[in-house]
Amino acid sequence: MLDKIIYMVAIIIVSYVLKQLFSETPNFVKFKSKFLLFYIWTSITAVMLLPFFVFNPKNVKNSLFGSQIVKHVTKVIEVKWVLRNGKVLTEDRGAVVVSNHQSSIDILGMFNIWHVADKVAAIARKEIFYVWPFGLAAYLAGVVFIDRNNSKDAYKQLKITSEVMIKNKTKIWLFPEGTRNKDFTKLLPFKKGAFNIAVAAQVPIIPVVFSPYYFINRKKFIFNKGHAIIQCLEPVPTVGLSMDDVPELIIKVRNTMDAAYKELSKEVLSALPPNYPLAIED
């Protein structure tokens, strides 16, 4: 009897999920399925690559290899990434890349342009390390995990990373907003960590701006087909600057990125129909 009940419940659940997935109207199941697909594919890739990463641990080339596999899920969730001025990422030198942070799918955008920058070490909060198998694979692929609640430990880890950046001509990628920005109109204030690293190492800062994800509306459970522009801005030199110059440097870079973000917003939003369900309308 219990077996029959479980069987019937399973059929009802599967039927409901399939009905929601194939529904023409937005719903929670359809919305979450795209993120879930991304997470599942990333986890499967991590499991497949772990044995290879173990033999060459913490090599940023592992990230490059893994990114070229994970990025193909973009086609399934129907997001197109368009890179502009990518040549600023191609130069073989140490640099600090700073970009705005909107969603977990930012990493997909990074993976789609990873091959352009070649040697990249991403900085992530330590909590992500415990999301296995992805966290372990990311660690072995050269991702640097820091504890934001322990500034001394974070600074020590970033100092070691900056030394590797200079020695191996590796780019460090950080999100200076520090958290996901849910404001559709402007960037959040920047934290100083990325800029301290760049000034201390006397390496340029490369601002990278992701256009708004107009195709995602969390309140209405919408994740439509769409495109995102990844705009690389001209590098900002730090040679000759000291720590006293960091506050002014932060303002300069943020203002430049914020202006670029607003221009990209106008571009992508102007092409949409008047009744498009943008998140800012909620």
Give the integer Cα–Cα distance in Å for 10 and 230: 43
pLDDT given for residue 204 in this prediction: 94
- What whole-number distance in Å separates Cα of residue 134 and Cα of residue 66? 11
Main-chain phi, psi angles of 158, to 5 degrees:
-70, -35
- pLDDT value for 197: 87
Residue-wise pLDDT tens digits, 50-98:
988 888 888 888 888 888 999 999 988 899 999 999 999 998 888 999 9
Q: What angle do CA 159, 111, 27 make, to 5 degrees?
A: 120
> What's the longest Cα–Cα distance across the chain?
78
> Mind listing the pLDDT tens digit for each residue in 19-29?
777 777 777 88
Binned at pLDDT 50, 70 and 90, residue 156 comes out as: low
Q: What is the mean pLDDT of residues 201-223?
A: 92
| Mean pLDDT confidence for 8-25 | 73
pLDDT in tens, 173-202: 999 988 888 777 789 999 988 898 899 889
Q: Binning pLDDT at 50, 70 and 90, where does residue 282 land?
A: very low
CATH number for 28-281: choose from 3.40.1130.10, 3.40.50.410, 3.90.600.10, 2.60.130.10.
Answer: 3.40.1130.10
What single string gives the DSSP state of each residue in the chain?
-HHHHHHHHHHHHHHHHHHHHT-SS--HHHHHHHHHHHHHHHHHHHHHHHHHHHTSTT-HHHHHHHHHHHTTHHHHHTEEEEEESTHHHHSSS-EEEEE----TTHHHHHHHHHHHH-SEEEEEEGGGGGSTTHHHHHHHTTPEEE-TT-HHHHHHHHHHHHHHHHHHT-EEEE-TT-S----SSSPPPPPSHHHHHHHHHT--EEEEEEPP-TTEETTTTEE-SEEEEEEEPPPB--TT--GGGHHHHHHHHHHHHHHHHHHHHHHHHHTS-TT---GGG-
Work out the average pLDDT over 204-233: 93
Least confident of 145-154, 164-173, 272-281: 145-154
